């Protein structure tokens, strides 16, 4: 030990004061960091990454007016209130001077490179405002869809055919979004993705498993939530876990599946000798999914979307867009909960109803509101406690 120490001392003697100071500082930082890592409950900064897409389709007949503006609002919000820097944000908008227009190639690349595989403790924000559509599902994979159609977003350079339909190979399907964003994210720990999809047909645009069980603000949703809490979570699950656990599990799993799973399990899973017992794994959300605590620091995904899969949205000067309303909420209250956000989102629908009632006769308003009908949705990869925060804070706990 004496010889290396002597060599080290000799080398230190040969350093300049500036070099000594740099080494001392590096050692102190390293030791502080090690002390923090060894103590649970200490705050560390989280990594941040945002992909914002806002398309006005300036040269199209179906031009939109607020998508670019809303992407900019979101960018400003992330910088002002959530600690994002310019280098954390990729913005694909069709403003004339933007070097990254939201073309098919740029969106495919942006989405494909958005999630950093294997990087834990990162806050992701995904935003899309633009046109969307639906096509029949070619391989009949409708696991999470409400209306059996495959949804897609529309790049700025998407062409239409003679029937004025978007060309299938020039749109970007929900399946690609799911496989590029959700799948790699679920392989990380401690990450959080907040997505906002301000477009039509958007409830399951990320192919997230849960949306019905997150609904609030209607009589149906209130009844559903009460049944989930007082029957499923307080009675059935404890009974299943504590009393029947020692009975034949294969029978219990099949009973459970028939009650909680709407879709048949996929063949690879069904053929497994011991089907995995996961109480939160419904193939399609039926609204009664029990909430389970996130003990494994699994990454979470929440997605606010403008409407159900079968619905459209509108924009106008007389009412807020969904984005505009949520940005206002988060500017005033960065710690806003999912519940706050959904009530604000539902408020935008009420704004347009009031506008329609004021501008049109009673009969015209009634018929218009049957067409102009949409309900903002909250989707997630796991059943949610809607009192948790919409966007995470600047720090994390380890």
Point out which residues bind Zn ion (CB under 5 A).
210, 213, 285, 289
Alpha-helical runs (H) found in 178-317: 183-185, 219-227, 237-238, 249-260, 267-270
Q: Which two tokens stand for residue 94?
A: 């069709």
What does the chain come to in residues?
Answer: 398
Q: Which is nearer to Zn ion, 50 or 208 (CB)?
A: 208
Residue pair 208/182 in contact (Cβ under 8 Å)? The answer is yes
- Tell me how far, at minimum, the Cβ of 253 lies from Zn ion, in Å: 19
Q: Which is nearer to Zn ion, 46 or 210 (CB)?
A: 210
Residue pair 301/195 in contact (Cβ under 8 Å)? The answer is yes
Distance CA 88, CA 51 (A): 9
Distance CA 398, CA 390 (A): 20
- Tell me how far, at minimum, the Cβ of 340 lies from Zn ion, in Å: 20
**CA nearest neighbour of 193 among 124, 128, 127:** 124
- Tell me how far, at minimum, the Cβ of 289 lies from Zn ion, in Å: 3
Q: Which is nearer to Zn ion, 103 or 375 (CB)?
A: 375
Q: Which is nearer to Zn ion, 75 or 211 (CB)?
A: 211
Element (H, E) at 177: helix 174-177
- Tell me how far, at minimum, the Cβ of 225 lies from Zn ion, in Å: 11
Distance CA 242, CA 235 (A): 11
- Tell me how far, at minimum, the Cβ of 382 lies from Zn ion, in Å: 8
Q: Which two tokens stand for residue 46?
A: 């989280």
- Tell me how far, at minimum, the Cβ of 227 lies from Zn ion, in Å: 13
Q: Which is nearer to Zn ion, 245 or 262 (CB)?
A: 262
Q: Which is nearer to Zn ion, 111 or 144 (CB)?
A: 144
């Amino acid at each position: 030990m004496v010889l290396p120490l002597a060599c080290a001392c000799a080398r230190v003697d040969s350093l300049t004061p500036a070099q000594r100071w740099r080494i001392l500082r590096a050692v102190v930082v390293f030791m502080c960091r090690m002390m923090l890592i060894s103590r649970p409950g200490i705050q560390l900064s989280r990594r941040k990454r945002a992909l914002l897409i806002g398309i006005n389709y300036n040269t199209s007949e179906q031009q939109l007016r607020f998508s670019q503006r809303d992407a900019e609002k979101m960018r400003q919000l992330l910088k002002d209130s959530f600690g994002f820097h310019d280098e954390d944000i990729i913005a694909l908008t069709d403003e004339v001077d933007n070097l990254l227009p939201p073309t098919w190639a740029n969106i495919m690349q942006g989405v494909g490179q958005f999630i950093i595989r294997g990087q834990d403790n990162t806050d992701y924000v995904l935003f899309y405002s633009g046109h969307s559509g639906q096509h029949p599902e070619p391989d009949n994979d409708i696991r999470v869809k409400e209306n059996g159609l495959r949804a897609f977003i529309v790049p700025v350079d998407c062409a239409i055919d003679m029937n004025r339909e978007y060309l299938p190979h020039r749109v970007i399907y929900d399946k690609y979004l799911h496989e590029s964003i959700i799948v790699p994210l679920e392989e990380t720990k401690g990450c959080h993705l907040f997505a906002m999809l301000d477009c039509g047909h958007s409830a399951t645009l990320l192919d997230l498993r849960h949306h019905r069980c997150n609904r609030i603000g209607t009589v149906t949703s209130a009844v559903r939530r009460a049944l989930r809490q007082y029957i499923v979570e307080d009675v059935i699950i404890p009974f299943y876990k504590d009393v029947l656990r020692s009975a034949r599990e294969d029978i219990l799993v099949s009973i459970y599946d028939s009650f909680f799973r709407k879709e048949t399990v996929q063949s690879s899973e069904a053929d497994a000798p011991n089907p995995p017992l996961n109480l939160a794994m419904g193939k399609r959300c039926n609204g009664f999914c029990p909430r389970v605590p996130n003990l494994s620091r699994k990454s979470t995904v929440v997605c606010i979307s403008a409407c159900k899969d079968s619905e459209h949205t509108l924009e106008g000067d007389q009412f807020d867009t969904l984005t505009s309303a949520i940005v206002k909420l988060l500017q005033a209250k960065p710690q806003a909960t999912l519940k706050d956000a959904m009530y604000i989102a539902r408020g935008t629908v009420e704004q347009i109803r009031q506008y329609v009632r004021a501008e049109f006769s009673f009969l015209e308003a009634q018929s218009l509101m049957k067409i102009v009908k949409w309900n903002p949705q909250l989707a997630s990869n796991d059943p949610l406690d809607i009192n948790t925060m919409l966007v995470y804070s600047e720090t994390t706990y380890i």
